[in-house]
């Protein structure tokens, strides 16, 4: 009965693992855990005792979908660093529960080969759920870091545009010569002062004086404006270098998590093969156990004593040669078979 129970369980387990063999989308939660062990038939030696059932099998596993529903706020509402921290923290909590469950299977089976035959596929199924969860979380984190790298790249372009704009401003400031412009205005003002007074002349002189004051102010502020533009370009260049480093870090983490997801997927395929092996082994063990029972209870059929007695005894008793000779003489003389036979029978009784 023990291999039959294991075979039944493995068939059900393989049905649930079929989904785990396909590539999973980033936001699809892992399949629901098979938390409760199947109840064996009474009197079977292969069933785990009630006290040996793992504690993890009585506690439902928290899948990513469960933790999403239990969150006070959705992950999308969090900042990037908080979102990453929450994903990892929730995954570590689920993984700790699965490790407890796997440890309980190992403790329950002990060194009993029969219990190990039952516990091994259960541990593999928990490991399959763990790798599926790791694959999904790794894909989510890879996408998070890739999206963050794209956002940083857009900030880089904005900073580069700012640097180009400030470079043009600095070129313009470098080409300005306020002294030439101021001297021209001074000459124009001196020429107007020699002309006869009139309202028009006075208005032109006031305008030239205003422009002269503005030219003097610009000439005075020009070095400071150049210095400020140079400082802004230098500061923006430093920030651009930091942004590029940050983008590379995000891309590196994204690739690392993508590699983790691929590794988890390959592990899932290997674990599915392992579970298939347990199924084949359970089928073989079932046949072997039936064979052991059949060979242990063999009862060979022997002949009865009467048959042996009959076979060992002589079938007929040969007549003496004298009787045969008399019978032949009678037959030759009379030719009456019945009379000769009766005569020989009477002779035998005497």
Task: Yes or no: say if 94 and 137 are a contact pair by the CB < 8 Å rule.
Answer: no
48 and 139, same domain (yes or no): yes
H helix or E strand, kind and range, residue 266:
helix 199-296
Joined together, the tokens standing for residue 173 give 């400031």
- Shared-domain flag, residues 24 and 118: yes
d(CA 229, CA 219): 16
pLDDT tens column, 145-172: 999 999 999 999 999 999 999 999 888 8
Same domain, 97 and 24: yes
13 and 133 part of one domain: yes
Q: Which of 47-56, 242-251, 307-316 has the highest mean pLDDT?
A: 242-251
* Residue span of the structural domain in which 211 resides: 162-241
Nearest to 319 by CA among 337, 345, 287, 283: 345
pLDDT bracket for residue 231 (50, 70, 90): very high
Number of domains composing the chain: 2
In a domain, residue 60? The reply is: yes
Q: Which of 180-184, 188-192, 309-313 has the lowest mean pLDDT?
A: 180-184
Q: DSSP string of 116-133? A: HHHHHHHHHHHHHHHHHH
More confident residue, 262 or 186: 262
Mean pLDDT of 111-127: 79
Same domain, 18 and 47: yes
Query: CA 332, 333, 335, 339 torsion: positive or negative?
Result: negative
């Amino acid at each position: 009965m023990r291999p039959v129970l294991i075979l039944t369980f493995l068939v059900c387990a393989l049905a649930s693992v079929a989904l785990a063999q396909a590539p999973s989308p980033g936001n699809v939660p892992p399949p629901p855990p098979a938390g409760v062990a199947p109840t064996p038939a009474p009197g079977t030696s292969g069933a785990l005792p009630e006290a040996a059932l793992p504690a993890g099998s009585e506690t439902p596993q928290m899948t990513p979908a469960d933790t999403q529903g239990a969150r006070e706020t959705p992950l999308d509402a969090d900042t990037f660093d908080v979102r990453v921290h929450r994903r990892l923290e929730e995954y570590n909590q689920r993984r700790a529960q699965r490790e407890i469950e796997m440890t309980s299977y190992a403790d329950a089976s002990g060194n009993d080969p029969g219990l190990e035959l039952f516990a091994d596929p259960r541990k593999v199924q928990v490991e399959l759920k763990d790798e599926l969860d790791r694959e999904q979380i790794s894909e989510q984190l890879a996408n998070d870091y890739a999206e963050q790298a794209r956002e940083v790249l857009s900030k880089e372009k904005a900073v580069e545009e700012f640097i180009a704009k400030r470079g043009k401003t600095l070129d313009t400031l470098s080409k300005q010569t306020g002294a030439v412009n101021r001297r021209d205005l001074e000459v124009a003002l001196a020429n107007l002062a020699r002309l006869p007074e009139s309202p028009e002349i006075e208005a032109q002189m006031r305008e030239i004086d205003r422009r002269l004051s503005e030219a003097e102010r610009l000439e005075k502020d020009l070095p400071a404006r150049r210095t400020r533009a140079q400082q802004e370009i230098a500061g923006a260049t430093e920030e651009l270098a930091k942004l590029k480093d940050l983008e590379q870090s995000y891309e590196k983490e994204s690739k690392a998590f993508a590699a983790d997801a691929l590794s988890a997927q390959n592990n899932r395929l290997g674990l599915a093969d392992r579970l298939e092996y347990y199924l084949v082994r359970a089928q073989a063990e079932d046949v072997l156990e039936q064979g052991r029972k059949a060979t242990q209870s063999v009862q060979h059929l022997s002949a009865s004593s009467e048959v042996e007695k009959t076979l060992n005894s002589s079938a007929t008793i040969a007549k003496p040669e004298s009787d045969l000779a008399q019978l032949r003489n009678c037959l030759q003389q009379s030719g009456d078979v019945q009379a000769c036979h009766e005569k020989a029978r009477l002779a035998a009784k005497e």
